[in-house]
Structures are given as C-alpha cells and as structure tokens.
Chain A
Amino acid sequence: MKPGANNERHSRHLARWLAEWKLDGLLRLADADGSPAASSPPAEQGRPIPPAPLPPAEVSDEPDVGEIRLLYPLPGTEAAQRPIYVAVLGKKADGSFLIAPFGRFSLPAVPGEWRTRIRPPPLRVLCVWNARTIPAAAAALSWRAGRLQPGKVRQALELHDHLRSGAALASISDRDIGPPLRHPLDPRLQYQAEEADAIEGFLTAAESWLNRAPLARPQPPVTYDIAPSEWKLAAESRAPYGKRPRRRRKRR
C-alpha cells in the first residue's frame, strides 16, 4: 500500500462520520426549537420519575447468546430517547451476559466499532468497545428483536478479544473498523462518552427498577373472570334504596 493511502482512506471515512455526527446535532436542535414533538420524558424535565409501566411478559424472557435485543425504554434513560439494540455475545458462568450495543450512525467511529454489513440501518455498526457484562435480570429488560448469524457473533468476540488483549484480528478487515482515535480534541471522544453513559444509565435505572420493593412496583391490570354482559351499567335501573331486589324463584 502506498504511504499515506491509509490516511487518505481514514480521512474520507472520518469526514463522512463527522458529517453524520454534525447532522445528528442539527436535527436535535430542531427538537429543541420549541417543538412539542420529541419532548423529553418527564424525568429529564426535572420532575420525579413516575412509576414505569410494568414491562409485559414477553420483555422479561431470558436472553440467549446470539440474540439481538431491544432495550426497554426505562424512563429518564437514553433508551427512552432512541431504540437501543444490543447483541448478546456471551454468557458467563454466573448467568450474566456479555452484550454490545449497536451504534446510531452508519459508519464505525473508532477502531472498537465494527461495520457488520447487516442491512437494516439500526444494526449496521456494533460498538464492541462499549460491551458490558450485565446481570441476567437487566439483560432481560428487553425485547427479542432478531438473531445474529453465528459467524457474526464470532467476529464480534474476536474484536472484543482484540480490544482487551491486543490479539490479532483474523476475520475482520481494518476497512470494517473505524479510524484510530488519538487527538484529545477529537469529537469522537465526546461521542464515546455519550454512548458509554447511555448504556451505564440504562443499567443504573434497571438496577434501581429491579430493586424496588415488589409492592412499590406497578401491578399489571387486574382482570376479572366476569363476562362484560354481567356488569351492571351505570344507566341500568336498579332497585330503590332500602328495597331488596326480588329474587327469582328457582324453577323446579
């Protein structure tokens, strides 16, 4: 490869990523411009967090390695501001899961982000640098949204290993990871801080939610085993106060 060819490629890649980052900031300004559209959840407006609705039963099933899960929008978290999909990459002996979130942009930002080459836009980049080992109960606060091919799980784990131990990348091309990040004023540092906070914020909220006393948790609506026809409607006539309704005699 010609000297400087990497730099030229990185330069083009980084320019496109920065354009998307700036565009994202611009569109956020549109929401801040007095629009009632994307108003923040109450917690972000300085009001106390209201009791979260109880996640439906299908949210709480046990995750499986290789699944793509969509995090439950716990109030006050970034997961309530945008759908955050995560890949379940592994399971520890203690039952906790290794998860890595998918990124919000179309290109990998840093060397710890991987272009998955999966078609749906929310799954194009996996942020392996932001992988966490999380308790099973927190991982279960999510919906099953899809499944990664086994080869993709293997590649993600390879990058994870590479980031932790420096092991060589065998099946991931450096064209599919982001350009190096070194300068202290690089906006990608701010981006990484935001993304790390998004996952950490979800975990903190999940822990707090799961630790609530069972009685304090909102209960699912009670369903009575009574047919609607058996309910007396408000407009139906009833016996005057003090008078017992006449009982029907049983037919013999």
Chain B
Amino acid sequence: MPPTAHWLEWKKTCALGLCSPVAQAALRAFVHARFLRYTSFYAESIDAGNSSATSPDAREAWQWFESYFELQRTRAGKSYKEWLFSRASDVLGPTTGDIESGVSLLLRNVVRSRLREDYSSPRMLSLDANIVPPSQGAAVSLGELLPDDFDTADEVERRELERMADALAAAAATSLSHRERIALLGRELGLSLANPQVVQAAECGKTALAEAYQTALRAVASYVADAYPRETRAYLAALAVSVFAAVRRRIVSWARAEKSLSGLLTIGRGGPLTISVTAAMSNGEPTKNEARSE
C-alpha cells in the first residue's frame, strides 16, 4: 500500500510522471490492483472472458483513472483531487485509508465506463426479458416499459383504456396507506423522500418512506394484474401505465384537500424563478476555461 506521502506527492506535482520513481511505482500498482479487483469480480459474476477492458496493464489503468475526472488541464479542472483529499474522517486530515477508499470509489466509475460496451453489447436486453428481479414479486419486461404508439385507429381502444384506468385508480389509490400516498406525493412534487417536511408528513423515518414508495409502485402494478388476470402482458402494461398516471393525479387532488399538506404543495416544484443569466450569455464564444465539447 502506498503511504500517504506518495499520494500527497502526486497531488502536489499534478501528474504521476512528475513524482519520484518510487511513488510512481507504488501508486500505479495500487490503482492497477484495485482496477483488477473490480474487473475480476465483474468477469466472475457474468462469466466474461478476458477482454482488453477487463485486463488492462498498470500503465493503462492509471491513465484511465487520471483522465476520467479531468475536466480540463487546469488546476480547477482537476478538482477531483481536492475532493479525494477532503474525504477526511478526521479534522486532522485524510488518513491513508480515506485516500484509498476515495480512489476506489473514483475507480468504480472508471471501470463502469470501460466495461459499459463490453457488458451491454452481447447482453443487450431483449424486449421480452424480465428486468425486475423475481424477488420483487412482479414481472416487467423492457417492452412493457416503453410507451405505446397509439395511432388514430386505436383511439377508441385508448379511451376505453383510460376509462378502465380511472375506475381502477380510484380503488387502487384508496387501498394505499397514508405513508405510501405521501411517498408518491413527494416524488410527484419532485421532492426527495429524505426531505424533512415529507418525512414529517409521512410520520415515519426516511428509510421506511423509501420502502413505502417501492411498495406503492408494486401495489399499483399488482392491482392491475389482479383485476385482469387474463389480459396479455402488453395490454396490462398499457393499463398499468394509465392507472399509475391516474393514481398520481388522484394523490395530488387528495393532498390539495388536506390542509396539513399545504406546506408540501408549496415547496414542491419550487416557486417562480427570476433567473439572471446575463453573465453566462454575454459572450457567445467559448473561453479556454469552458468544458471540452465533443
């Protein structure tokens, strides 16, 4: 493991090439080892072979690590180094453990980026593949997530679908608990479920509220499936989408009628914004400090 001094040397010199040979070797070896740890876990988990993305040499691994978060070649463009050395668990400054865990967290993003193509192309999801783990109790495929392209000929069918959805939504919304309604309301208003006012309205902790949100989503989907067990999956998906939209509308209407929730409705989605953008728009030409475009 490289000592903190090597990491500090790297931060000070701004590039590994300017560090002492000892520091260079130690830092490069550390990053390489952590990189391979991620890629070997990945390869074992999905039975992937040894591709160039999963087994880079130490020099490549370091280069990918150092360039991923570099927005520009300026000091500000390398502010991820400030981030790395500020993740201190103590006021006295970062320990070697703090720095190493930070490097690993950074590397996870780098590895994900390198493996993205390797992972997605041969394993491209089929439209019928189930994308929700069976443990979550409901099956849904990629094809069902996508919106339907209703054309004019389907207009009658669409209206019928919406009528059925309204009827189901009334019952589904009533069956939700207070906590589940607040969870749906919070998200509908663009608020975090960790927001103190949302948590207070739900009368439970933020973890319980986050669980309630997932439960509510599954409850709506299950409600539709239970009501029409003989319909095709495609039809049920379209119906679930319509019911979900109708439930959200009903939850907002319910909240408007509840005096105790008026505060939430006020903070949700924010107030009117007077934006001063003259500084950013005064000059149409990019400056040298502007982020690199493709």
For the complex, is A135 an interface residue (Cβ under 8 Å from B)?
Answer: no
Task: Chain B residues near A183: list those with CB within 8 A.
Answer: 140, 144-145, 221, 237, 240-241, 244
Nearest Cβ distance between residue A23 and chain B, in whole angstroms? 5
Q: Are A147 and B83 in contact (CB under 8 A)?
A: no
CB < 8 Å: which of B82, B146, B221 contacts A185? B221
Q: Are A15 and B124 in contact (CB under 8 A)?
A: yes
Q: Are A83 and B80 in contact (CB under 8 A)?
A: yes
Q: Are B220 and A92 in contact (CB under 8 A)?
A: no
Q: How many A-B pairs fall under 8 Å by CB?
A: 287
List residues of B (61-94) whose CB comes within 8 Å of A's CBs: 68-72, 76-77, 79-80, 82-83, 86-91, 93
Q: Are A11 and B149 in contact (CB under 8 A)?
A: no
Q: Are B279 and A66 in contact (CB under 8 A)?
A: yes
The CA-CA distance from A185 to B119 in the complex, in Å, is 23
If over half of A's interface residues share one DSSP class (helix, strand or loop), that class is named, otherwise mixed; here it is mixed
Q: Are A143 and B146 in contact (CB under 8 A)?
A: no
Nearest Cβ distance between residue A196 and chain B, in whole angstroms? 4
Q: Are B131 and A146 in contact (CB under 8 A)?
A: no
Nearest Cβ distance between residue A202 and chain B, in whole angstroms? 10
List residues of B (239-258) whose CB comes within 8 Å of A's CBs: 240-241, 244-245
Known: A143-B83, A182-B244, A193-B213. A98 touches B291 (CB 8 A): no
Size of the chain A interface, CB-CB below 8 angstroms: 101
Q: Are A182 and B142 in contact (CB under 8 A)?
A: no
CB < 8 Å: which of B45, B70, B113, B282 contacts A26? B45
For the complex, is B11 an interface residue (Cβ under 8 Å from A)?
Answer: no
Task: Chain B residues near A180: list those with CB within 8 A.
Answer: 146-147
Most buried by B among A132, A179, A193: A193
Task: Chain A residues near B20: list those with CB within 8 A.
Answer: none
List residues of B (205-221) whose CB comes within 8 Å of A's CBs: 210, 213-214, 217-218, 220-221
Q: Are B120 and A20 in contact (CB under 8 A)?
A: yes
Nearest Cβ distance between residue B67 and chain A, in whole angstroms? 9
Q: Which residue of B lies closest to A123 (CB)?
A: B291
Which residues of B come within 8 Å of A, CB atoms?
A: 34, 37-38, 41-42, 45-46, 68-72, 76-77, 79-80, 82-83, 86-91, 93, 97, 100-101, 104-106, 108-109, 111-113, 115-116, 119-120, 123-125, 127, 131-132, 136, 138, 140, 142-147, 149, 151, 187, 190-196, 210, 213-214, 217-218, 220-221, 237, 240-241, 244-245, 269-270, 273-277, 279-284, 286-287, 289-294
Can you offer 22 A-B residue contacts whose CB atoms are under 8 A? A20-B120, A27-B42, A31-B108, A37-B34, A41-B89, A50-B89, A50-B91, A65-B280, A75-B89, A120-B69, A122-B68, A143-B82, A146-B71, A154-B281, A183-B144, A183-B241, A184-B218, A184-B220, A185-B132, A187-B132, A199-B192, A201-B192
* A-B interface, 4 closest residue pairs, ranked by CB to CB distance from nearest: A200-B192, A90-B275, A66-B280, A19-B120
Which residues of A come within 8 Å of B, CB atoms?
A: 3-4, 6-7, 10-11, 14-16, 18-20, 22-24, 26-31, 33, 35-39, 41-42, 50-56, 58-59, 64-66, 68, 70, 72-73, 75, 80-83, 85, 89-93, 98, 104, 106, 117-123, 129, 132-133, 143-151, 153-154, 157, 164, 179-180, 182-187, 189-190, 192-193, 196-197, 199-201, 204, 218
